[in-house]
Structure 1
Amino acid sequence: MVAVVVLVGELLALALLLSASSAHAAGVSLAIAGSVEEVLNNVRAWLMGILAGLATVFLTLGGVRRVFGGGDPGEQEKAKEAFKSAGIGYALAALAPLVITVLKGIVGA
């Protein structure tokens, strides 16, 4: 049974490798953004999304620990730490536009 699973995995990997087309550097434009300001706006959006996503994960973990911790003081303390981490993450996500504004001032965009 394990041999069949390994064989199927190897066949899938081989099929992916054979179907991949080779990339040619000639004529390929890597820069899609038109200006530095556009790049910084994209960085801001990604930064806010990642920070808010991580903060949501910590908020969820804190809630799960709080609910399933019962009366265990250790679990309640870990839940509080997770809630603090979520708050810090949301605060940093809210401050991301300010950081990008400072970066725009530094690079002159």
Structure 2
Amino acid sequence: MPKFLIQASYTTEGTKGLLKEGASGRREAVEQVVGGLGGRIESMYFAFGEDDLVMIVDFPDSVSMAAVSLTVKASGTVRTRATPLVTLDEIDEAVRREVTFRAAGA
């Protein structure tokens, strides 16, 4: 299953919800959303700084990740970034593929 790094920061309203529910309440909500589309949470951490939450999740496909991303962003309570993660084996496979490319101006 494809893996994604999710980085999120709560809005003021989202932070109020976190204070009310606690971290375990948010994890349950995330597990429902991710599990509902056939995915799973590999790891989930709260953080300080620009990001309030960092997760690694598995989804069956990119469309499932996009569906979750759109729905969560539409709530207005959290801003998210999703980064596809590539395994070492996938990079090794990419290195073996021949790609023809002409640089701009060359």
- After TM superposition, the score normalised by the length of structure 1 is 0.22
Greater fraction helix: 1
Rg larger in structure: 1
- After TM superposition, the score normalised by the length of structure 2 is 0.23
